[in-house]
Structure 1
């Protein structure tokens, strides 16, 4: 793949009129690598990711190999591809390859870990109010089944420094705390949390830690060994841009004996002559399409070649764009940034006025009438929601290399008009 120039894609100095065709046609030259809808201003890479065309082509090749001779694929080639993907991923994330188990996504990985621990009634799991809702749902189910109690300290928001985050989490620790779950990047509020400091403080107290890194690989540098957590989980189809269905868990070697998949495959009773139980179990979970995981090296290679400097340069550019786009939106909407620039990844959350009462029972496709209008009337895809846990209403932008600042200028002008419309 040819490398692009090292300068940021040029953008115009003034925003096209909101709703005009010109506003939607402003594109980055890097957009050629993605098959996004040309009529949509897509500012929501963070929710599901978008797989670039070269990686999709690689997936087609793996699928063809599988369908050409499925028995050979599942009984001979699959383990080899798992090992190749594990080796490349471990280099990127700085952890031993034998500690990586592949799973479809971070949600399944967290559930797998939670159900592998020998809980006692009254044990506490500490999780904060900025965690992803699927984690809260799983903890509620675990509490009903096993008598485990979820403790949820509130994180300060807006926040002035990462030290406030550390203090808030440690304030919830009690003698019954056995596990703390923390996001590397919070999903609802798009903040990078100080996981190294948090994990270090908890390790000194003898408490296990599970870092939910769903948004982290490909978004910010990740060094699992430096973090020192018991478990680290992530989804790779978001910012690393694999096909959907590639996730993983890192588990400290001391936990491998207790970790089993939620469903055991037909091979679950058979010792493997050359593979430990942990890899045997998680390399084959049953008949499925493992091509997203086989594509991990291809996704890493894509990012190595898209610009000089590779993935590190892409992450730097995307972070700078997120900072600038947040500043633009806050200025137009009269909002104050909710966290320091240093805590931003390649996303940013902008607080919005509460949803007016007359809209609260309106049927919506996307969960908030404002997001419906942005999609249907202005062809802008960006998430808007009110937190189930702490009640604030947000808009969250993502910055990927295929975006330009003109797209955020367009969003800012449309938002200004739509929020004025809500208050009439």
Structure 2
């Protein structure tokens, strides 16, 4: 674990929530900050910031199969979702529908509710089963919820609570361009093979601080060429009227400068990509294969310990997976079940236990990255069965 700063006394099985950043990337981030603070005026106003940002943009675009002209940086995928929805509000009419699934990340579902309310539109929800047998159940659930008033589908590429790799490619093919598809790919890049251009969605936003392992506060939004006009950051700033001298056109001008902030997390994404790539002899393809194998192994261990059937097929699992637990006897309204605190405080295991979909039902979600080992999940299973027996 020497490449990471993770506490060796704690079993870290929650990469999916916040990621983890290699120590060398944090060193590069601090070097950027030191350079910036030596002369902030020079850094921001004399071209250095924009040049470094454009270099980073090209690196990220290559990694995710995007054209740099359509890729901009945001602090997290939630900001990307908000920016798209805010930009689309003027196109919505009373009674129009924004469609989400009941697996949608809570923050982004909230954004859909707020944007819909501003426009007099409504949010409709497709009920996707979990456990489920195959990806067709997702496709059928979403398509059956589409109506003639559906204007936008907001869908996760990989769901947060349930850890499902969603069939977004098939849904995009079935719905675009009549329904604009906004893909919240927070977990996808660096976990699964993911090419935003080939996907064909109108909008794709994703975090770089999760499976790409950048510093916290780095994400991107990609917009398809025919959707770029009228696209704005949720924070309106100088670029709205051309006041920021970006050479990348309208889209870059909207996002490259939204006020003074610390851009070091963005500017070291390429360092993170290189650092993780170097951790496996087969580079990024090897990384993705290794962490998926670890996750499937861990899921198998938990399934055996709980005496349950796999809640989803293996082809819908990347490097995070959830298993349903027996209903909670002390169910409340909190997002996180008390079992999560018990595993942390009594066993030194960091792993999320979500109340999902509603109390008393709950799921436990594991993550895998290169700092994990298969034995980690054996330790989790032992601790879990002990807590469930009490």
TM-score bracket, shorter-length normalisation = over 0.9
Shift of 1:145: 2.0
Separation in 2, partners of 1:287, 1:128? 36
Match of 1:41 in 2: 11
TM-superposed deviation, 1:202: 0.3
Aligned CA distance change for structure 1 residues 188 and 406 (closer, same or farther; 3 Å)? same
Give runs of aligned pairs for residues 76-91 of structure 1, distance below 5 A.
76-91=47-62
The answer for the alignment partner of 2:287 in structure 1 is 314
Deviation of 1:121 (Å): 1.1
Q: Note closer, same or farther for the CA distance 1:130–1:390 as it changes in structure 2 (3 Å cut).
A: farther
Cα separation, 2, equivalents of 1:321 and 1:273: 43
What's the CA shift string for 1:229-257, capped at 9, x where partnerless?
00000011011010111011101122222
Is 1:235 aligned to residue 207 of structure 2?
yes
Shift of 1:390: 8.6
CA RMSD of aligned residues (A): 1.6
Scaled by the length of structure 1, what TM-score is found? Answer: 0.88
* Corresponding residue for residue 217 of structure 1: 189
Distance in 2 separating the partners of 1:34 and 1:209 = 36
Question: SS at the partner of 1:209?
Answer: strand
Aligned pairs (5 A) from 1:96-245 = 96-117=67-88, 118=90, 119-203=92-176, 206-245=178-217
Residue 219 of structure 1: how far off its partner (Å): 0.7
* C-alpha contact 1:123 1:176 (8 A) present in aligned 2: yes
Per-residue deviation, residues 34-92 of structure 1 (Å, max 9, x unmatched):
11111111100000001110111110111111101101111111111111111011111
Aligned counterparts of 1:353 and 1:402: Cα–Cα separation in 2 = 29
- In structure 2, the residue matched to 1:50 is 20
> Are 1:304 and 2:277 counterparts?
yes
* CA positional deviation for 1:144: 2.6
Judge conservation of contact 2:213–2:272 (CA < 8 Å) in 1.
yes
Q: 1:290 matched to which residue of 2?
A: 263
> Structure 2: which 5+ runs fail to align?
none
Which has the greater radius of gyration?
1
Residue 142 of structure 1 and its aligned partner are, at CA, apart by: 2.0
Task: Give the number of the structure with larger relative contact order, counting CA–CA contacts within 8 Å between residues 6 or more apart.
Answer: 1
Give the 3-state SS of the residue equivalent to 2:8 in structure 1: coil
- Relative to structure 1, is the Cα distance of residues 390 and 372 closer, same or farther in structure 2, using a 3 angstrom cutoff? closer
2:343 is the alignment partner of 1:370: no
**What's 1:334 paired with?**
307
CA deviation vs aligned residue, 1:332-379 (integer Å, no higher than 9, x gap): 1112111111110101101101110xx2359x8x83211111111110
1:130 and 1:389 in contact (8 A); partners too: no
Q: Given that residues 202 and 208 in structure 1 are in contact (C-alpha distance below 8 angstroms), is that contact kept between their aligned partners in structure 2?
A: yes
1:353-410 per-residue CA deviation (whole Å, 9 max, x = no partner) reads: 1110xx2359x8x832111111111100000011256963100000111001111101
Q: Distance in 2 between matches of 1:211 and 1:282?
A: 19
Deviation string 1:125-180 (CA, Å, 9 cap, x unpaired) is 11100110011211222233221111101012211111111111100110001111
Name the SS for the 1:263 alignment partner. coil
Separation of aligned partners in 2, 1:273 and 1:420: 60
Cα offsets for 1:281-310 (capped at 9, x unmatched): 211111000011101111111122111111
> Are 1:52 and 1:241, in contact at CA under 8 Å, matched by a contact in 2?
yes
What is the CA distance between 1:264 and its match in structure 2?
Answer: 2.4
Structure 1 residue runs without a partner (length 5+): 1-30
Match of 1:60 in 2: 30
